[in-house]
Structure formats: structure tokens, C-alpha cells
Structure 1
């Protein structure tokens, strides 16, 4: 067991060096074992830093954050990469050889990276709780206790965030709350999604108690959890559960805090460089230590960008031109003007989403280009529009207020206000606005799932209403996960359908 802990800690500590400035630039201990670490403030800081690094690793595996949240949503009409085409087609059970360990479809079926992050959160909670208050930084006992609680709050947040992410992807997942290594998930059955989400709410509620609002002067703002990030996570959990009154209240906590503001249209694209005034929570990768090689094939940059950013004339993932034209009917909208360009291959034109073009060439080596865009998870426009959803789809509706919030976001993006949208049509208008605002930001698939639950109208070309009701939008798990755990079963819809 100690060897397993050592391996996980060593991996986490190594990954933790690839995150944000002072927060993750910790001096490594000479012998990274649980016996010699967790002794001082810096140890707790490094342990928490590893939680974020492991989440980033999970999201970057086969472009998971965007594959789960965007690729099957209709934002892309096709892919030149066959396995990503299967995601677009919702053919998630397509055959993959067990030896094809680099196959993106196989990696996307694996929940192991998320359990590795959860194991680190559990370890951080366990060991930080046991550390005496006196070892934490601060000039008084109260400050030292607040510092300790901040680290605990981040550990609770990261565990809640991982479980919410997994619940949206796989539905029922093993619920592991003990301090043990990532392989412990192999010994648990899948817990009902409702229980997983209840635990996530419990964890994030604890995080809210421990964390403060954003420190605007901190170089680590937005890339580590604070009270705003916790409320944003809580709002999304409640929206996924259909508890819109609670979702609305969590959104209000953020909006009324005064901690965030919408980016002006002139600097809209700065959102994707990271840590903007609008950002609530991001996964940091906007420095050379954090970024990824953009030329590696299974990266967001390699799939969505062409010259002059990277080599190539046509994006591998083909943006759905019809959807872009439908969503962005106002040509003055900065989300269209700045977020997309048109590229040609012969007589064929393609839209290219250029939100993630913060590419840096290293040492004048054209073969080494590093993508430096943070993964923007939650931002103010998202929360404003989520509140609009809560007001238009909840138990007590206020269509006028919901539409006003939509137009608040549109005004910030130089788009004309919507008018003449009445009654239940506001629900669709809100989802459309989220589609415009959050294109290729990991939200669209989940937004459409919530919309279909509300309206009972089909939202996915390759998922019939019957298949939707049977759970086709939840991912299967890789059959290799059954080899070490006889307690888990395949995702119900995909039983007998995964090759």
C-alpha cells in the first residue's frame, strides 16, 4: 500500500510542477512519502496543487473536456479522425482493440484519471486535517486556521468537481471517500448518480464554508478554487439535477458578490488567455510549464486550428457551418467576428473556431509550438445564462427576467437584444444563447441534455427520444475495467453494445 501511495504522490507532485506560478512552484521534498511530507504549509500547498494538476491530466487525455462537452453536441459536423467521428455520431460503443492504448475512444471510456484526482483530494483532506494548526502560515492562530481551512476547502472542491464531472459523463460511478489510492475504485460498485451528486453538494457546501471570495490581487485567482468557484459548481450541480430554485440562489450568490464582471467586447478574446475579470474557475495551462505541444495529434489545437497557427489547411474537426450561421445571425456579434474565421480548401469553405490560438513557438523551433490557453470552466456569462435557464425552466418561471439576462450578455457582445420571444420559447432562447456564448467551451452537450429533459424534444441527431430515455448520452466504460472488479457493471444503455 505504501508503494502505491508513493507512486501516486510522486506522479501528483511531478504534475503539480506544471501549473500556476507561485501556487504550484513549490520546492519538492527530498523523499516524497506520507511519512516525511504533510509536515508544513508548503506540503499542504503542494498536495492540493496536485489535485488540480491531475484534473488537468484527466481533461487533456484525448481532449476529454471538449470531447465530452462539445464534440457530440452538433457543434462539429464531422472529423477526419475516425474515432472522434464516432463520438460525433454517438457511436460510443464502437470496437476498440484493447492493445490500442493510445486510441482516443478507449481513453474517453476510462474514468481512472478522474479517480486518480479523487484519490489525491481524499489524501489531502485526510492529511491536512491531521496537521496541527501551528504549522500553517499566518501571524495569528486565526490566520493559521484560515490557511488550513483554505487548503481543505480546495480539496473538498476538487473532489466535488470530479464527481460532478463523472456523474454527467457516466451517470452512476463508484463513490470513494476514504484516503486510499486510485485503484480503490476497482473494489467498489457503481453508486446511484443521485447519491454521487448529493455527496458532491455536501463537499462543495463544505468548501463554501472554508473558502473566501476571489482575491483580485493574487496571481492564482481563478485557477484555484475560491468561494465563487464553489458556488458556480453548486449552481451547475443543481441545474443538472433540475433543482432550479437552488440553482438560481447559487447563481445569485456569484452575481451579487461583485467579484466578477463581463469582459468588454473589445477584449472578448482575452477570456481564453486565462484569468480574465470574467473568469470564475479555470484549469491552468497558460505558461510554458503548463501548456501542451500543439503539434501532438490528440490535442485541441491540432484538431481545430490551421495555418497560420499550425500547419494544415482544413481543421480535423469540421465546425458545423449550418449551426454557426443559425446561432450567429447578428454579424456584429463579437463572438462571431472574433471567435471564428473562414478557411478554404479549394472551393470548399470551413469555419474555424479560433478561441484557442494562444500558441507560442519555443526556441524558434516550428516543430515545437506550445498551446497556452487555460481551460475555462466557469465564467460570469455562463452563470448569468444559467440563472436565465433557472428562471425560464424552473418550477416558478419569470420569462421576462430570464430574457433580460440573455440581453445583458448580448449587449456585452455587441449583439442586438432579442425581442418578441414569449413564454416557453424563452427556454430555447436561453439554450441558444448559451450555445453562442459558450461555443467549444465544454458545455453544449450537457446544455442540450438538460434542454431535452425540459422540453421532451429531440436535441441530438443520433439519439432518438427512446434512446435518450434509456441513457444513451451517458458514456460506456471500457470493458477492461471489469477485469479487476466484478462489482461494477456496464452503463445500462451500453450493456452488450461495447466491442
Structure 2
């Protein structure tokens, strides 16, 4: 058994482009050594850009962003891939063969890619802080300081974003803030989630201090953090920890900034092409240099689409038709009319979500189709509905304003307003509206967890978590046993102790 884990460990870490001498602090490939860089504005810019690239790599590893946020949420009824079916069914402790080096369950249990990104953020914080203002572009010391602070703000944002992502997935995780060259023998304990998120909030507040609001003239708008992205992240952290007063305040900062606007009904699908006026923060992958082959097996397109978009007769991840029809009851709703099609799979009719069909042939080669959709993380509709949640969840609820926010979104999407609701049904309406608005956008799982807590600790999952299991924290992922080989202080996620093979 020990030999098996060692083989898995070596293979998995190799696949993640990790150095054999490092565990958490892993440098991105081709990054110059720290001794010869961090001398100029361009060095700082390159260092920060690597943070976003590494986050993209972490999210794309076994389609992690959507596997964590959507596959297990009930949106899908089955997967044709056995291992993704195990993910969907909450069989996260299933044994993984040592030869299954591409196994998505193995990769989804590893938090190594996120620590790769965190290590880069830590280096940016350390080295950029030490650089003199004169190293940065600008015509005055004030301009140069602002430029330096922008890079620092992005580094603090990306670190906070990674820790928030990991806390929602694994709960307690090791908290590493120093710029350290940790070897595989380095020991890290899992810090309490509350401690990690307290640090994330501190980082976000620094980002808010250092960053400006969106620059519409910049080609990097939305795909690099600004003040709006930082406030949106703060709002989500506050909602996750149940600080709905703080969440409401952060949402207001975004909404009242005037930097964002909802798309028109006719242009709803433009959101997924990237950098729309509604978007607040996205992970860039809408250029050929950033995109992936849509026909490659472990990509979102390969799992959720079919012909004519990719070479497949039916999606591998099968949507639950009943969930789709229960959510989209208004036939005029553009989110349904533009975001879904009905296809035939033998004698079965299936819904297919077509939000991510910005796909292009390369050199007229139908076997090589690149998916050019950015990963949309935060957008205005999400924040407005998060504010509605905060208004319902705070100690003195304001259900009327919450419903008004829901109806603002519905009106913009050509859906009829909701009327005649009471306090209980308004809370459910907010959850449902988030489900309609953010379908297959990486939010649904975490919405179900937050609302389950709001509703008294009940499980809202229909596919593998009872209320007792929900209260016991089954929705937090186990860590893969391979990580225990070099770190004896690392412990298994509480619910999964003794359940991971």
C-alpha cells in the first residue's frame, strides 16, 4: 500500500508540473530565478501575471472549477465517466489505482495546484514590497508608488482568492504566508478555516486599499483584479462565514460604483465570451494562447457539449431535465432561451447548456477546436443576488428589498416578476434565482451549502448528502492520501477520516 501511494504521489506531482524538491512552494515553469529578477516594472508585471496563469491551471485541472461548483450540485444527473460519476455521487473516498495518473478524483483531492499559485503570490508580496518606487513606471514618485501598489494589490487579491477557494472546498487548510522554499519534508498543519479566512479578509482589504476601480480602456480589464473584484471577493467571503452585514456593505460598494451594468436581454450570451460590462472578475482563456482543445477529454466543453460544437454525439455530463424545467418556468426567460438547447440521445431528449460554445477550429482542423470562453468568476447579477441573500440572512431581514433585487434581475432577463411571496418563499426565491442566473458558473454547490445553513442546517443536495451528513461536513472534500507521505502533520478532512482508500 505504501509503495502504491508513493507511485501515485510521484506521478501526480509530476503531472502538476511540480519540482521534486518542493511541496507547497512551487515556481511556475520558466520563471527566472528570484536572484536575477524583481528589478523592474516588467518583472513585477510578469510575476503577478503568473499568479493568474497558475490559478487558471488549478481551475482547469480535471475541470475543478466546475466539478466542485456544479457537478455535485444536482444540476447533472449522471456522467458517462466512472470517476466523474463518483464525484457526482459524493463517492470521494473511492480507491484510485496507481496507474490511473489522469484520474480526475485523484487530482480533485489534491490541493497542490492552489499552493503553487499561493507560493507565487507570496513571492510577489515579498519581492515587490522590497523593490524601490523608482523601479516602477511613472512620471512622478506618486505615479510609481501607485504602480507598485497595483501589483501588490493583485498579489494580495490572488492569495486571498486561492485561500477562499480552498476553504470552500476543503475547509481547514495549511496557511502559508512566508516566501519560503519548502522541501517535501516540510511539515504543515491544517489551520482552522476561520483563521485562514480571517487572513484572506485582511489580504482583500489591502487589495481594496491598493487597487483602483476598473479601467475600461485597459485590455486587461476584468481578467486582472481591481477594486471591484476585491469587493466582490470580500462579499463572497462574508457570505460564506455568515457575516451578512459585511456582505451587504461589500455588495453595495460594487453596485454603487457605477463600474458595471447588466447585459441587455439580446446580448446575454456575450457574458461568456469574456470582458462584458457585467463582469467583475474572470480567468482569461479566450485567446489561442490561453485556450484548450475543446475535444480533449478533461475539459468543460468535452464533458458538457456535443455536435456540432465538438466531436461527440451527446454530452458526457448529463443535465437533469427536471432541474432545468423546475428552474426555468418562464418560457420568455432569455437565460433559458439562449442558454439551453434540446438534443436527442437515442430515444432520450436531453437539455444541453450552451453558454460555453465560443469554440473555434484551428487551421480548419475539426479535430482541434479551441474553447475561447473565459471562466466568469464574479459578475454584477451575482453580486445583486448575493445582496438579496444578505438582506434575507441578516439579523433584521429586509425581504421586500431582497425580492425587488430578484425582480430587477428577472426583468432584465425578460422573465415575469415574482409576487405574493412571504419571508420563507422569498428566501427560496433568491436561491432559485441564483440557480437560474448562475447555472453552470461554479456557484451552485456553494449556494446550496450557504442556504442550507440559513435554513437551519438542512441538506439541499438531492444526490448524496443527507441532513446528518450535511451537518457533519460531508461537503468538504477529502485530501488525497498521497499528501500524507511527506507531511505527517497533515490530517484528513474530519468527515472522511477512515473513508478514503
Q: TM-score, normalised by structure 1?
A: 0.94
Partner of 2:190: 190
| Contact 2:294 2:370 (C-alpha < 8 Å) held by counterparts | yes
Partner of 1:11: 29
Alignment of 1:335-414 (within 5 A): 335-414=335-414
CA distance in structure 1 between the aligned counterparts of 2:240 and 2:134, rounded to whole angstroms:
41
Shift of 1:87: 1.3
Shift of 1:36: 1.1
Quick one: structure 1 residues 360 and 90, their matched pair in 2 at CA, closer, same or farther if it must change by over 3 Å? Answer: same
CA distance in structure 1 between the aligned counterparts of 2:360 and 2:320, rounded to whole angstroms:
28
Quick one: structure 1 residues 272 and 46, their matched pair in 2 at CA, closer, same or farther if it must change by over 3 Å? Answer: same
Quick one: structure 1 residues 437 and 129, their matched pair in 2 at CA, closer, same or farther if it must change by over 3 Å? Answer: same
| Contact 1:341 1:353 (C-alpha < 8 Å) held by counterparts | yes
Q: Which moved more, 1:185-194 or 1:288-297?
A: 185-194
Shift of 1:8: 4.3
Partner of 1:486: 488
Partner of 2:142: 142
| Contact 2:92 2:105 (C-alpha < 8 Å) held by counterparts | yes
Alignment RMSD, CA only?
Answer: 1.6
What is the SS of the residue equivalent to 1:351? Answer: strand
Quick one: structure 1 residues 182 and 86, their matched pair in 2 at CA, closer, same or farther if it must change by over 3 Å? Answer: farther
Q: Which moved more, 1:97-106 or 1:311-320?
A: 97-106
Matched, 1:116 2:134: no
Partner of 2:244: 244
Partner of 1:269: 269
CA distance in structure 2 between the aligned counterparts of 1:9 and 1:122, rounded to whole angstroms:
11
Shift of 1:395: 1.2
| Contact 2:63 2:299 (C-alpha < 8 Å) held by counterparts | yes
What is the SS of the residue equivalent to 1:366? Answer: strand
What is the SS of the residue equivalent to 1:35? Answer: helix
Shift of 1:184: 7.2
CA distance in structure 2 between the aligned counterparts of 1:88 and 1:418, rounded to whole angstroms:
32
| Contact 2:21 2:184 (C-alpha < 8 Å) held by counterparts | no
Partner of 1:467: 469
Shift of 1:309: 0.3
| Contact 1:119 1:182 (C-alpha < 8 Å) held by counterparts | no
CA distance in structure 2 between the aligned counterparts of 1:295 and 1:2, rounded to whole angstroms:
31
CA distance in structure 2 between the aligned counterparts of 1:92 and 1:2, rounded to whole angstroms:
27
What is the SS of the residue equivalent to 1:424? Answer: helix
Shift of 1:424: 2.1
Partner of 1:20: none
What is the SS of the residue equivalent to 1:11? Answer: coil
Shift of 1:9: 3.9
Shift of 1:99: 3.4
CA distance in structure 1 between the aligned counterparts of 2:321 and 2:448, rounded to whole angstroms:
18
CA distance in structure 2 between the aligned counterparts of 1:340 and 1:185, rounded to whole angstroms:
49
Shift of 1:94: 1.2
Show structure 1 runs of 5+ residues with no match.
14-31
What is the SS of the residue equivalent to 2:121? Answer: helix
CA distance in structure 2 between the aligned counterparts of 1:328 and 1:111, rounded to whole angstroms:
35
What whole-Å deviation, never above 9, does each CA across 1:318-350 have from its counterpart, x for those lacking one?
011000000000010000000000110222100
Alignment of 1:6-405 (within 5 A): 8-11=26-29, 13=31, 32-181=32-181, 186-405=186-405
CA distance in structure 1 between the aligned counterparts of 2:441 and 2:28, rounded to whole angstroms:
31
Partner of 2:12: none
CA distance in structure 2 between the aligned counterparts of 1:454 and 1:277, rounded to whole angstroms:
31
CA distance in structure 2 between the aligned counterparts of 1:469 and 1:419, rounded to whole angstroms:
33
Q: Which moved more, 1:436-445 or 1:82-91?
A: 82-91
CA distance in structure 1 between the aligned counterparts of 2:308 and 2:271, rounded to whole angstroms:
21
Matched, 1:476 2:478: yes
Partner of 1:19: none
CA distance in structure 2 between the aligned counterparts of 1:445 and 1:291, rounded to whole angstroms:
25
What whole-Å deviation, never above 9, does each CA across 1:211-248 have from its counterpart, x for those lacking one?
00000111100000000000000000000000000000
Quick one: structure 1 residues 161 and 183, their matched pair in 2 at CA, closer, same or farther if it must change by over 3 Å? Answer: farther
Partner of 1:26: none
Quick one: structure 1 residues 68 and 475, their matched pair in 2 at CA, closer, same or farther if it must change by over 3 Å? Answer: same
CA distance in structure 2 between the aligned counterparts of 1:404 and 1:189, rounded to whole angstroms:
45
CA distance in structure 2 between the aligned counterparts of 1:132 and 1:293, rounded to whole angstroms:
42
Shift of 1:394: 1.5
Shift of 1:4: 6.1
Shift of 1:186: 4.9
CA distance in structure 2 between the aligned counterparts of 1:243 and 1:358, rounded to whole angstroms:
37
What whole-Å deviation, never above 9, does each CA across 1:383-405 have from its counterpart, x for those lacking one?
00000000012211000000000
CA distance in structure 2 between the aligned counterparts of 1:10 and 1:415, rounded to whole angstroms:
46
| Contact 1:118 1:182 (C-alpha < 8 Å) held by counterparts | no
Quick one: structure 1 residues 478 and 327, their matched pair in 2 at CA, closer, same or farther if it must change by over 3 Å? Answer: same
What is the SS of the residue equivalent to 1:64? Answer: helix
Q: TM-score, normalised by structure 2?
A: 0.94
Shift of 1:313: 1.8
What is the SS of the residue equivalent to 1:38? Answer: coil
Shift of 1:458: 2.4
